[in-house]
Structure 1
Amino acid sequence: MNPATDIVCNLLERPFYRWKDEDKKKVLLQGRPTAVLSIFARKEIKKSGKSYNVNFKSAWFTNYKWLCSSQTLQKLYCWPCLLFSNKQSIWSKDGFVDILNITRALHKHTDSAEHLKCELILKTFEKNKNIIADGLKENARLYKLQFNENVRLNRVVLTMVIDAVLYLAKQELGFCGTDSVNQGNFKELLELLVLRSPLETRMEIQKPPKMEIMGCISDYMNEYIKKEVNEALFFSIQVDDTTDITQTSQCSLIIRFVNSEGLIVERFLGFHDISADRTSEALYTMLDRILNQFDYQNKLIGQSYDVSNIFCKSQWNSGIFPSGQQKRCHGLSSTYARRIPTVVEPGWCSNSKLVYTIVQEWDKLKEVFEFIITSEDSDQKSIQLARGFLNDMNDFDFTFLVVIFNDIFITTDILYDVLQKNSLDINLCVYQIKQTRGILSKKRNDDFFETIFNKASRMTELDITKRGYTGLSNKDVSTRYKALFYEIFDHILMEIDVRFQDCEKLKFVCLADTSKFEQYSSCFPSDVFENLEQFYGNIFTKYSRLKNELCLLYSDERYRNIPLQELLKKLNEYKDIFTEAYKLFCVILTIPSSASVEGGSSCLKRVKTYLKNTISQESLLYLATISIEKELLLELKKNHPFYEDIIDKFASLEDRKIDLVYKI
């Protein structure tokens, strides 16, 4: 080849940064040269004394997208480093020819810091290329065939059927009527839509296929969710007790993951009846069946449960993480020896506020309840409730417990606040956990019991005869309450030890604390990095590359002091460069935490809201999916050919009675 037409020779002679913008664009559009070279090497076998030729392999270009060649020089180069590197190296200046050792050299260069930097620059540079024919893509999707009028009208009317189904499902309204006059919300709404539509020919639908359409919509959304989860690197699950108004035992399943756009999302995987068998084995069987389609043996990194799901105590030790930082019960069991984090919904924050209000407004609350009971304007239900509340407040046991837990909650609320707001600063979290435990431990003494007992006695008088303590002295009665006092504190201290026993294993989370990136750029957190290597070696194997990627991120001011989710979103377009760092941040965001369970789980809130509002027999799974996943539904309607896909899915059903497929 003529050196004048060899792009590698031209770049070696005149660096890329000295080229004109138009010439740069031409080079980038042309891409890396991948001419097959005629170089080879002779390899000798020492034992036999024989030798053979090692020839050049074109497959190297396929396996390493950065590799390029010069046919004139008969050498190999790194395309990004050749364009942007200022350092003298074999891959950017001298050229590589030692094909006997090429495999090791290719791996080493792929993970080098200089190569990663040049790849990042090239990726950014390519974003500025002129993209041809962007405006033509939408036009290419215009109608290619002449519409069949009957099919067109059918599809328009079916679109109205879909709209009616979506509206009623999202609003959780009933579909069917009760008599000949009231045809039902669905039929009335559909007739109104057809009546107001600008159709040239009115179409009377005797039996609208609402059930089939609901099934198609639900299947469509579930298929999209399955695609999202399968594209994710990892996921965690959240199981919650959602027994309905018929007292049928069921649980809801929520899956949490980072999607392909770098956003943390939670998706609803349905309600599942467990009334027939509430054992741990039955729960495992149910979860195994649902999650098996998502390769949970390799991708499940966390599980969380509502405390009411005591039935979920089992021995599932699968997944790719060691035991969790807030483990209280195991939700799954299998033959896999590895363990995953488990979180139990504590619910302490909202309860603490309620208890604090009761203690602070004790006398005023009693006055309110007494007023309700004596007021002539009060209805019978209000009077019964007021009497119940007042009886509790006049019970010394209730008062004693309220006073104890109010004091405990004042301390634990501080811990809760720290864990919520500083979840990435594990060292601070561990310190606050120890501080909280120390404070509670110091209160476990006779003097503090006397303080609690006397305060409760001032609020509610202890009636010995009513409590069945006749014949006992005041000292004996006090001793019984003291035993209860110590039992409560012992249990709280034990729960703290169990719940947070594995926090030390999560020190690696600090690597994603963007507020410390500037500090890490000058002093890399080696101890935290070693923690990751020690406990999570089955996920991360390229530690040298991971360290280089993190150093590159720490040194970039654009990634400092921003939420981790925003950082992950920014890295999404560069995830083929920051492969290991992107994986690390996905893991940290996916792990279920108290923040994602207690009040932070947006999907769980939607499930609870749905259960509160749903009172009809039509609370089927597909209706629940449409109602709970409203945001996903809007996204699908906005960014996907939603109506066309649903109609095509309905058209594929064997028992459809109208023509919906255009004839060519």
Structure 2
Amino acid sequence: MALKMENLSDYEGELTAEDNCNCLIEDMIKRKFASLPFVEKEIIVNSPKPAPILSIQSQTKTFKRHFKKEIYENIPWICGCAHLSKLFCWPCILFSEELNVWNKFGFSDLNNISKSCKRHECSQSHICSTVQFKNFGKGVHIEENITLHNKEVTANRYILSKLINAMCFLTKQELPLQGHFEHHQSDNRGNCVELLHLLSELDLKLETHLDNSPVFTGISDHIQNDLISSISKVLRDEIKSEIHASKFVSLIVGESTDISRSTQLYTIFRYVDENNDIHERFVGFVDVSPDRTADDLFQHICKTLKEFECSDKLIAQTYDGAAVMSGEHNEVQLKIQNICPNSLFVHCYTHRLNLVLSQSVTHIAECKRFFKKILSFSSFFCKSPKRISLLDCEIQKRFPTAAPTQWNYNSRILNKVFEYQKELLTIFDRIMKCEDEWDNDAVMNAEVLHRYLKDFEFNFNLHLFSGIFDSADSLFEILQEKTFDITYCINEIKNFVKFLDGKKVDFDSMWNKLITAKFNRKRKVAECMADVKKTYKLRYSKILKTLSADTTNRFRDIENLKFMELFNVDKFKIYEKNFPDFLFKSLQLSYGEYFDFMRLRKKFENGV
């Protein structure tokens, strides 16, 4: 039946009949509700849904299910068509543009009606149609509500952007967010709250929000933590997308001890993006204090590689700190290479030198005690401004802060003691003579340090390691600066080993110098120490031999990185005249599957 304007009044009355749908549903399926005039639409929407009694039944193995009229009451959106003997969704017939069983073909399976209704109610098409059905004719109010809602959303997003900016600024500057007492009565409510109030003085919208918002201000500790977590998730997702687009990835893992003395394992990815820009992305800390075994660290790395989906892209791995990771016994890098064959292990060479000088001789008790004594000089002067002032007057130079994991800082302390030994003795003498002007701790420690400087054992080690550290400092700077000149670095490492081996012949001259200074040229006393000399000579040789062997051992794989010289721009002109075949062989051994070596060779021969 075609619906016409002239019989609308008759049709309006007929729609209330429960026994007859007057083929309205068939008409809506054919003509489409959207094509009708507004007056006609309004009559249909405001009229009761077609709810005739249908002759539908469904047969199962055990019983027969019949249609019941109560279904229209239990499910408000269901309507029926007596002519088709099918059930339909009344809102979807009128407003849905997506064709389905409930608005086009009809539903008649009474055995599965409950599941089908629940599934249809959750569909986006049904939800949108229901909203349109309920809001039909209320367009002006809806538009006002939508405008008001959008305005509120825009304002909230603006406030949220300011909160996020504050969080990002504080974390970028490595400042703590929360205070100990953030109540409005507190003089200092923490960096985050105070920063937001400072910004509010320049931002009227933010000021209004902070002063008048009854529920959400965004400054509570829970909101701060939620924002930090959200920012972290966004950053990690961005890093994942960059890594996904990158062809090659390297992994940097290391250890750091926080203020609570917990060992935190940090992870960094290094990769090249689509624009050939190099990025290093920090992805987080993990507390490994309870278990620092090689297996546990290996499992953490595998989990990280799986999360960022880059196991097949890993071409290099390096570990700074984490002695268990790079040690000979645990060999975590070898376990990683078993699952990522091309992940070349590169340990920071300046850190390796640090390990040589800070750990190689720690098994020698006299050396271990000596380095503890050296650190006590820095600790003594760093504890008091008064002591620092005295140091400034006598030497005009200060001791660097001791760093147990950084040998080069300890080297600077040792060199300061060696260079200003006489001035330090004068300082300690003044403190001991003027006891009334100094606290007990200063006097007692001054006596101890004064005794160290007069002790023959201490002076022996001081002279020995001062000579070694002078040469080691030069090597340290070379390894930091000559990144691509691997051949030069290898030669300097070999020269350092030769220096250690050749220093063995210097024992007698150093011994005589110490004996003369200590005993004021008393030959008899010196002769009495002939037996002691043998003991010191054995230790002297043992220290040099240990350092030499450990240096050779720790730098034995640096030859594998010779291909790095191919990136040395300063040598490109040389490569044009004398092609570096040995560097190409080194590159083929490490990353042979990644390069077209014929094409690469032509580029180098043509000046790259």
Instruction: Kindly state the Cα deviation for residue 240 of structure 1 after the two structures are TM-superposed.
Output: 3.1
Pairing 1:172–2:175 present: yes
Q: What letter matches 1:295 in structure 2?
A: C
Residue 193 of structure 1: aligned partner? 199
Aligned partners of 2:475 and 2:528: how far apart in 1? 40
Inter-partner Cα distance in structure 2 for 1:246 and 1:501:
37
Distance 1:427 1:280, change over 3 A: same
Match of 2:137 in 1: none
CA distance in 2: counterparts of 1:363 and 1:259, whole angstroms: 57
Deviation at 1:245, TM superposition (A): 2.2
With over 3 angstroms needed to count, the CA separation of the structure-2 counterparts of 1:525 and 1:249, relative to structure 1, is closer
Q: Deviations over 1:187-219 (max 9, x none)?
A: 344344345422395442456321111111122
Q: Do structure 1's residue 545 and structure 2's residue 590 form an aligned pair?
A: no
Offset at 1:406? 1.2
Ranked by relative contact order (alpha carbons within 8 Å, sequence separation 6 or more), the top structure is 1
- The 1:258/1:483 distance shift into structure 2, 3 A limit, reads farther
Q: Does 1:343 align with 2:347?
A: yes
Matched, 1:238 2:292: no
Structure 1 segment 118-157 matched on structure 2, within 5 A? 148-157=150-159
Label 1:531 to 1:251 Cα distance change in 2 as closer, same or farther (>3 A): closer
> Which has the larger displacement, 200-209 or 244-253?
200-209
Q: Which structure shows the higher helix fraction?
A: 2
Q: Go from structure 1 to structure 2 and tell me whether the alpha carbon gap of 1:192 and 1:366 turns closer, same or farther (over 3 Å shift).
A: same
Equivalent in 403, 415, 427 of residue 368 of structure 1: 427
CA distance in 2, matches of 1:541, 1:419: 28
Map Cα deviations across residues 426-452 of structure 1 (whole Å, 9 max, x no partner): 33222222222222212224xx22233
Q: How far apart are residue 514 of structure 1 and its match? A: 1.3
Which residue type is aligned with residue 216 of structure 1? S
| Contact 1:424 1:513 (C-alpha < 8 Å) held by counterparts | yes
Identity score, percent: 24
Cα distance change of structure 1 residues 368 and 311 upon mapping to structure 2, 3 Å threshold: farther
**Structure 1 residues 235 and 406 mapped into 2: Cα distance closer, same or farther (>3 Å)?**
farther
Match of 1:450 in 2: 508
Q: Give secondary structure in 2 for the equivalent of 1:219.
A: helix
Task: Report the equivalent of 1:414.
Answer: 474
Q: Secondary structure, in 3 states, of the residue corresponding to 2:466?
A: helix
Tell me the alpha carbon deviations over residues 21-57 of structure 1, each in whole angstroms, 9 at most, x when there is no partner. xxxxxxxxxxxxxxxxxxxxxxxxxxxxxxxxxxxxx
- Determine the C-alpha separation between the residues in 1 that align with 2:508 and 2:288: 46
* Structure 1 partner of 2:289: 275
Q: Which moved more, 1:301-310 or 1:488-497?
A: 301-310
Distance 1:461 1:265, change over 3 A: farther
User: Residues 250 and 272 of structure 1 are in contact (CA less than 8 Å); yes or no, is this contact kept in structure 2?
Assistant: yes
Give the Cα–Cα distance (whole angstroms) in 2 for the partners of residues 376 and 251 of structure 1: 49
Determine the C-alpha separation between the residues in 1 that align with 2:603 and 2:149: 54
Q: What are the residue-to-residue correspondences of 1:464-503 with 2, within 5 Å?
A: 474-503=529-558
Separation in 2, partners of 1:502, 1:553: 30
Does the aligned pair in 2 maintain the 1:254–1:268 contact within 8 Å? yes
Matched-pair contact (CA < 8 Å) for 1:160–1:194: no
Where does residue 526 of structure 1 map in the other structure? Answer: 581
Please state whether the residue corresponding to 2:262 is helix, strand or coil: coil
Given the alignment of the two structures, is residue 439 of structure 1 paired with residue 491 of structure 2, yes or no? no
Q: What residue is the counterpart of 1:302 in the other structure?
A: 317
1:307 deviation in Å? 6.6
Contact residue 314 and residue 342 of structure 2 kept, 8 A: no
Query: Residue type matched to 2:551 in 1?
Result: I
Equivalent position SS for 2:270: strand
Q: Cα offset for 1:354?
A: 3.0
Please say if residues 266 and 284 of structure 2, whose CA atoms lie closer than 8 Å, have aligned partners that are also in contact. Answer: yes
Separation of aligned partners in 2, 1:418 and 1:171: 31
Distance (Å, rounded) in 2 between the aligned partners of 1:224 and 1:391 = 59
Structure 2 CA distance for partners of 1:179 and 1:213, relative to 1, 3 Å? closer
* AA partner of residue 522 (structure 1): K
Note if 1:158 corresponds to 2:160.
yes
Q: Cα–Cα, structure 1 residues 458 and 233, in superposed 2: closer, same or farther, change >3 Å?
A: farther
> Any idea what SS the aligned residue of 1:251 has?
strand
Please tell me whether residue 536 in structure 1 is matched to residue 590 in structure 2: yes
* 1:513-556 alpha-carbon deviations (Å, 9 max, x no partner): 211212222332233223323x12544342111112333444xx
**Is the partner of 1:148 in helix, strand or coil?**
helix
Are the equivalent residues in 2 in contact too, given 1:449–1:485 (CA < 8 A)? yes
Is the 1:317–1:336 contact (alpha carbons within 8 Å) kept by the matching residues of 2?
Answer: no
Deviation at 1:308, TM superposition (A): 5.5
| CA displacement 1:201-259 (0-9 Å, x = unmatched) | 54424563211111111222222333333444434333333122222232333333344
Between the aligned partners of 2:510 and 2:343, the Cα distance in structure 1 is 41
Q: Distance in 2 between the 1:352 and 1:366 partners?
A: 20
- Quick one: distance in 2 between partners of 1:340 and 1:368? 52
Q: Name the residue aligned to 2:189.
A: 184
The 8 Å contact of residues 325 and 331 in structure 2, kept in 1 or not, is answered as: no
The DSSP-based 3-state class of the residue aligned with 1:536 is: helix
Q: What is the alpha-carbon distance in structure 2 between the residues aligned to residue 310 and residue 304 of structure 1?
A: 7
User: Partner of 1:393 in structure 2?
Assistant: 453
CA positional deviation for 1:342: 3.5
Query: In the alignment, is the contact (CA less than 8 A) between 2:252 and 2:267 conserved in 1?
Result: yes
Once residues 305 and 508 of structure 2 are traced to their aligned partners in structure 1, the CA distance between those partners, rounded to angstroms, is 53
Q: Deviations over 1:596-643 (max 9, x none)?
A: xxxxxxxxxxxxxxxxxxxxxxxxxxxxxxxxxxxxxxxxxxxxxxxx
Q: CA deviation at 1:339?
A: 6.5
8 A Cα contact 1:305 1:342, kept in partner: no
Q: 1:261 to 1:537 in 2, by over 3 A?
A: closer
The match for 1:130 is none
Tell me the amino acid that sits aligned with residue 550 of structure 1: F
Residue 444 of structure 1: SS of its match in structure 2? Answer: helix
In structure 1, runs of 5+ residues without a counterpart are: 1-144, 319-329, 463-471, 555-664
CA distance in 1, matches of 2:273, 2:431: 53
Residue 353 of structure 1 pairs with residue 412 of structure 2:
yes
In 1, are the aligned partners of 2:311 and 2:340 still within 8 Å (CA)? Answer: no
Shift of 1:422: 2.9
Q: How far has the Cα of 1:288 moved from its partner? A: 1.7
CA RMSD of aligned residues (A): 3.5
String of CA shifts for 1:126-173, please: whole Å, max 9, x gaps: xxxxxxxxxxxxxxxxxxx99822112111221222233234433513
Q: How many residues align?
A: 387
Matches within 5 A, 1:226-265: 226-265=240-279
Larger radius of gyration between Structure 1 and Structure 2: 2
What TM-score does the superposition give when structure 2 sets the normalisation length?
Answer: 0.56
Report the TM-score when normalising by structure 1: 0.52
Name the CA distance, whole Å, in 2 between partners of 1:307 and 1:474.
Answer: 44
Q: Give the SS at the match of 1:242.
A: strand
Distance in 2 (alpha carbons) for counterparts of 1:212 and 1:490: 56
Counterpart in the other structure of 1:504: 559
Matches within 5 A, 1:2-17: none
Q: 1:314, 1:247 → 2: CA distance?
A: 25
Q: Deviations over 1:447-486 (max 9, x none)?
A: x222333445566679xxxxxxxxx963332222222211
Distance 1:489 1:544, change over 3 A: same
**Letter paired with 1:221:** L
> Counterparts of 1:224 and 1:369 in 2: how far apart (Å)?
58
